[in-house]
Structure 1
Amino acid sequence: MKTRLAASAFALLASGAVAQDLETTIPSSVGAVAPALQNHLNEDIFDGVWNDEALSMRDRALVTFAALMTRHEVNNIESHVALALDAGVTPAEISETITHLAFYTGMGNAIAAAEATAPVFEARGITADDLPPVDPELLPLNEEAEAAREETVQSNYANVSPGVVDTTREILFLDLWLRPDLEPRDRSLVTVAALIAAGQPEQMTFHLNRAMDNGLTQEEAGAMLSHLAFYAGWPRVFSAMPVAKEVFESRAE
């Protein structure tokens, strides 16, 4: 038996499938050990942040998946993959998120996430034919933005590690970021979510600016921070808040 969501949460959620998925992310033992925590889950998370229209349920599912993968919460990934699919994230987008975040959270996290995702794909009949090809036709490159990024990295780090500079250019920004089955906005969204969940706010300035250049609004970015407080913890979100504040203020000038 799983914990029961508040009735009002069911009424507000996008579909019965998503409501059921949220319910099954929490084992019944939580209520037996920490009833106050179960109440917070029902009222503050399921009936609260997941219903906040400042960020779509589909985006919340993607952000949550990115945070769980980053934090290596393998036991929670399977149920949240099912939730993400029912919230509108496509199998191709989940596949691309795992591949993308391998380079931002580590290959071990990506392999573990793939292993946890596989049973859900199998149960739903999702095969390789539903997933992105290895070598798709890439999106057009923003040559001006890439030139500026490359100049910054070259000037700062070419004498430190030419290998990092070269692979960052060739693998990440001339390939990974141009793969078409995860929109640039969504690549930025999961990257920023991963940086917050990993406690790496010093890397956020570039990526949050890139996210907003790619279409993420300030309201959505703020809602992402609020959402991640519950999944990555308040200290990591408050470490990220000054960076977000600086980005927002600089873009308003």
Structure 2
Amino acid sequence: MKPSTLLALALSMGSADAIAQTGSQTGSLSRTDVQSVSPALDRYAAEKLADGLWKRPGLSARDRSIVTVAAVITRNQGILLPEQVSLALDNGVKPAELSEVITHLAFYAGWGNAMAATAITKQVFGERGIGADQLPKAVVEFLPLDQKAEADRAARVEQGTGPASPGLVRDTTEVLFRDLWLRPDLAPRDRSLVTVSALISAGQVEQIPYHLNRAMDNGLTRAEASEVISHLAYYAGWPNAFSAAPVARSVFEKRAAN
């Protein structure tokens, strides 16, 4: 969505400042478009999302944008992505970080979803004059590797997955945890935030405990993690949020006990 279109939507809602922080939450559709099909849906978009969820204090606007972009890409909801990419940029997510979010999600949400997101984000970047000089290089100097934590992770994966797929174990180590996760243009906390958001959005509850623990080790607080689940109820559906909630509760309780 072009910035001029976003501004027009902002004025129709009565506050350009509000739209810059929360978006219209109607994607490429105008409020009139939505009202022509579902006036109630338009009301929820304005009252419960733009004027409600996005203004709650549990997560920063920047974090909400990262969570939402991750969910929209994971679920291949292209109609929402242009607005959410623009909103993320307005909320302080750097072009380099958005680039890394898409790259990261190629491995956690599927290659096709990342390519679909690339096509849409290319248009937004073009409209904003974002060029290659603002994007991460293909080959970078990696962040330091936590040798002990990585050795523990690799041993668990080898034990549980190695007998079924040695190739998957090898690629998980070499491509993900000794390459992708060490790229410096997305902070470890934010990379974990993207991963947890993608897992919840895809209903991959079995994968949540490890990555939620990793996210909290990387600096995500319990309150923030709880609000991520609440936020994703709107973008990934209540069933996925309710499936994630008891898993998160178990993680919280075990960490508190330790």
Task: State the match for 1:110 in structure 2.
Answer: 114
The Cα shift of 1:214 comes to 0.2
What does 1:115-154 align with in structure 2 at a 5 Å threshold? 115-154=119-158
Over residues 45-90 of structure 1, what are the superposed CA-to-partner deviations in whole Å (9 max), with x where a residue is unaligned? 1111100111000010111000000001112211111111001000
Match of 1:86 among 77, 84, 90: 90
CA–CA separation in structure 2 for the residues paired with 1:12 and 1:124: 19
SS at structure 1 position matched to 2:143:
coil
CA contact (8 A) 2:76 2:116 kept: yes
CA–CA separation in structure 1 for the residues paired with 2:228 and 2:50: 15
Segment of structure 1 superposing worse, 73-82 or 188-197: 73-82
Over residues 117-157 of structure 1, what are the superposed CA-to-partner deviations in whole Å (9 max), with x where a residue is unaligned? 00111111111111001111110011111010000011112
CA contact (8 A) 1:78 1:117 kept: yes
Q: Give TM-score, length-normalised by structure 2.
A: 0.91
SS at structure 2 position matched to 1:75:
coil
CA–CA separation in structure 2 for the residues paired with 1:188 and 1:87: 19
Gaps of 5+ in 2: 1-7
Paired residues in the alignment total 248
Segment of structure 1 superposing worse, 29-38 or 78-87: 29-38
Q: Give TM-score, length-normalised by structure 1.
A: 0.93
Percent identical pairs in the alignment equals 54
The Cα shift of 1:5 comes to 6.9
CA–CA separation in structure 2 for the residues paired with 1:214 and 1:63: 16
CA contact (8 A) 1:2 1:24 kept: no
Over residues 217-251 of structure 1, what are the superposed CA-to-partner deviations in whole Å (9 max), with x where a residue is unaligned? 01101111111111111001001111000001111
What does 1:45-56 align with in structure 2 at a 5 Å threshold? 45-56=49-60
Letter in 2 for 1:220: E
CA–CA separation in structure 2 for the residues paired with 1:77 and 1:205: 28
CA–CA separation in structure 2 for the residues paired with 1:118 and 1:75: 15
Letter in 1 for 2:196: V
RMSD across aligned positions (CA): 1.8
Task: State the match for 1:181 in structure 2.
Answer: 185
CA–CA separation in structure 2 for the residues paired with 1:134 and 1:209: 29
Segment of structure 1 superposing worse, 49-58 or 28-37: 28-37
CA–CA separation in structure 1 for the residues paired with 2:13 and 2:81: 23
Task: State the match for 1:18 in structure 2.
Answer: 21
CA contact (8 A) 1:184 1:214 kept: yes
CA contact (8 A) 2:59 2:227 kept: yes
Letter in 2 for 1:22: S
Gaps of 5+ in 1: none
The Cα shift of 1:18 comes to 3.1
Cα 1:58–1:134 shift into 2, 3 Å: same
The Cα shift of 1:12 comes to 8.1
